[in-house]
């Protein structure tokens, strides 16, 4: 299953890496890709959407499903 969430505040490649690492730490995530140009992150796996949003928020970015 793939989920896409909106992520605001990414301005560089390091931001993308930070968001990807935060998402990868969520239970059920098998892969994550952040795209600062699209303000999105795509997540593979069966993780809870609220947990994904919380992980990105805790990493310092604004996120919503």
Q: Kindly indicate the confidence band of residue 29, based on its pLDDT and cuts at 50, 70 and 90.
A: very high
- Left, alpha or beta for 36 (phi > 0: left; psi -120 to 50: alpha)? alpha
- pLDDT score, position 28: 98
**Tens digits of per-residue pLDDT, 32-54?**
999 999 999 999 999 999 999 99
| 56 and 24 Cβ atoms separated by less than 8 Å | no
- Residues sharing a CB contact under 8 Å with residue 20, sequence separation 6 or more, in sequence order: 32, 33, 34, 41
Q: Is residue 54 a contact partner of residue 23, using CB atoms and an 8 Å limit?
A: no
Specify the pLDDT at position 44. Answer: 98
**Position 14 confidence tier, pLDDT thresholds 50, 70, 90:** very high
Q: What is the pLDDT of residue 37?
A: 98
């Amino acid at each position: 299953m793939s989920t896409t969430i909106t992520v605001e505040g990414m301005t560089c490649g390091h931001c993308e890496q930070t968001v990807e690492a935060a998402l990868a730490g969520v239970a059920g995530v098998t892969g994550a890709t952040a795209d600062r140009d699209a303000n999105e992150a795509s997540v593979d796996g069966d993780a809870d959407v609220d947990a994904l949003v919380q992980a990105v928020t805790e990493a310092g970015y604004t996120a919503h499903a």
